[in-house]
Amino acid sequence: MAEQTGPGRESKPEQLGKTVGHRANRKQKARARGQRSAWFGLGMFGLVGWSVAIPALAGIALGIWADRHWPGNPSWTLTLLIIGVALGCLNAWYWIKQESGNDRK
């Protein structure tokens, strides 16, 4: 059955085009405003948190494995935890610098 088009009805491709155009205009206006919503801030908190937590947890896991295979006076778990946190902080700093737009080289 063919779709009816008329003054009050549009075909699906035309509706899709209008929807895409409307969303693109909204995105351009949001970028021009420069204001970021609270959701953006919460997303950045999450990004920063995970970028520190994942390397720290990986350092702990690798340190536990190393302590089991090479026991000794230096604690591999503590050492690799500190290295993981340091790498995570560098990663978080990179993401914040990239999002803030302050690229000072």
Q: How far apart are CA 24 and CA 35, in angstroms?
A: 17
**Average pLDDT for residues 6-17, to the nearest whole number?**
69
What pLDDT is stored for residue 57 in this prediction? 95
Q: What is the pLDDT of residues 28-38, one digit of tens each?
A: 776 776 666 77
Q: How far apart are CA 95 and CA 44, in angstroms?
A: 9
Write down the number of H helices and E strands in the chain: 3, 0
| Encoded tokens for 13 | 């491709």
Q: Is the pTM of this model over 0.85?
A: no
| Encoded tokens for 32 | 């021009």
The pLDDT confidence band at residue 96, using thresholds 50, 70 and 90, is: confident
* Distance (Å) of CA 65 to CA 54, 60, 88: 17, 9, 20
Q: Is 24 helix (H, G, I), strand (E, B) or coil?
A: helix
Residue with tokens 């340190």: 63
